[in-house]
Amino acid sequence: MSWTRLVLMMGLLIGMVEGSDASPASALPTLQTPASSEGEDVPVVGRPVDLPFSEASGWFEVQAHAEPTTVQAERPLTLTLTVRAVRPPRRPPQRLDLRQLPDFAELFYIEEADEEAAQLNAHTWKFTYRLRPRRTEVSEIPSVPFVYFNPYLLTASKGFQVLYTDPIPLHVLPPETVQVPVQGPESAFVLTTGPSVLERRVPWRPPGLGVIGVVLLVPPLGCIVWYFLWQRLYPDATRLARQRRSHAARRALQALRTAEQLDVKAGAAQTAALVADYFQQRLDWAIAEPTPREVALLFAQHHFSLALTEQAVCFFQACDCARFLPSDDATRPSLMELQNAAMRLILTMEEETCSTLPS
């Protein structure tokens, strides 16, 4: 007898002795101790293509439980899937996606459960699902296919196994309806009976010409009245500017008429200051003591006439002569002449501006 045969016979005898002490599941003739190490990759060839794979490797049992089994349509129930390893698992099972199963997707609304997958111990896992029956015709929770790889089988081509849970009977009630009370006056719930129901009603007639005339004339008349009232309360920018200019002219003329009797030098300075203040309000000018040249440039920018521009320049030149020439100079103007020239300048400017600006 060769040494090879002797070694094989001794291994067979040892396996039979160990098999007599093992559990019935380990004594099946189709089992072998897998030679792969812990965490071995599951082969790709042979996987079912029409069912979700649990990624589990080992030998497992699976059970399903539902609570409650009597539920209204579209109300939630909890489905619990318990997976137990018969032998030490190589890879733990993962959560199955029931939405990939047509039977579940057609009969239930599938929601993610608040409770995550729990491992009860080293050999038991629990997965929970929230299901909502779509209609009252749903009579059971279908079987859940659990696909796993069994490395303990001798035939590698049959390593992928499918376990089906038992269907769970289900009683689905119609959805609860809530009666909403209708509130209203009592007259709304009274039905009219008798001959008055068939009574012929008088046809509608249009109003008279007087009423029609009032209806047609009142809106445009109201609009016209409101337009004039609005113009009175809210004058436009041109009218406001004209009012502001007129107010500035009246105030300047009044100040010139009531000016104190000062000497020629002080009176000339006061008269020039009043006219300059009028220019500031009238033309939005920021120069308090303008020179004749600055006045000429200002009037040219506002497109005043040449005559008005010369009048304004001559006025400020006369004010400068009254302020800076000696008192015995014959060409020095008097205070009365300066005040009269200032009034004429203001009135001429107002007249020219009112004639050129639109109303």
Is the per-residue pLDDT at 165 higher than 90?
A: yes
pLDDT at 65: 92
Is the per-residue pLDDT at 20 higher than 60?
A: no
Query: What is the number of H-type helices and E-type strands within the chain?
Result: 8, 12
Looking at the whole model, is its pTM more than 0.85?
A: no
pLDDT in tens, 169-209: 999 998 877 777 777 787 777 777 777 777 777 777 888 88
pLDDT at 37: 42
Residue 187 has, within 13 A of its CA and on its CB side, a CA count of: 0
Distance CA 278, CA 253 (A): 9
pLDDT at 154: 63
Q: How confident is the model at residue 229 (pLDDT cuts 50, 70, 90)?
A: confident
Is the per-residue pLDDT at 353 higher than 80?
A: no
pLDDT in tens, 243-254: 555 777 778 777
pLDDT in tens, 276-290: 888 888 777 777 788
pLDDT at 232: 75
- If you write DSSP's letter for every residue of 187-239 in order, what string do you get? GGGPPP-SGGGGPPPPPP-PPPHHHHHHHHHHHHHHHHHHHHHHHHHS--HHH
pLDDT at 28: 40
pLDDT in tens, 319-341: 888 888 887 777 788 888 888 88
Cα distance between the two ends of the chain: 137
Average pLDDT over every residue of 123-127: 91
Closest by Cα among 6, 303, 118, 272 to 280? 272
Is the per-residue pLDDT at 29 higher than 90?
A: no
pLDDT at 32: 46
Q: Are strands 77-85 and 171-173 parallel, antiparallel or unpaired?
A: unpaired
Average pLDDT over every residue of 141-162: 84
Non-local CB neighbours of 290 within 8 Å, separated by 6+ positions:
276, 279, 298, 316
Asked if residue 175 lies in contact with residue 72, where contact means CB atoms within 8 angstroms, the answer is yes
Distance CA 288, CA 324 (A): 18
Distance CA 158, CA 165 (A): 20
Q: Are strands 70-72 and 171-173 parallel, antiparallel or unpaired?
A: parallel
Tokens of residue 318, six digits: 């006369």
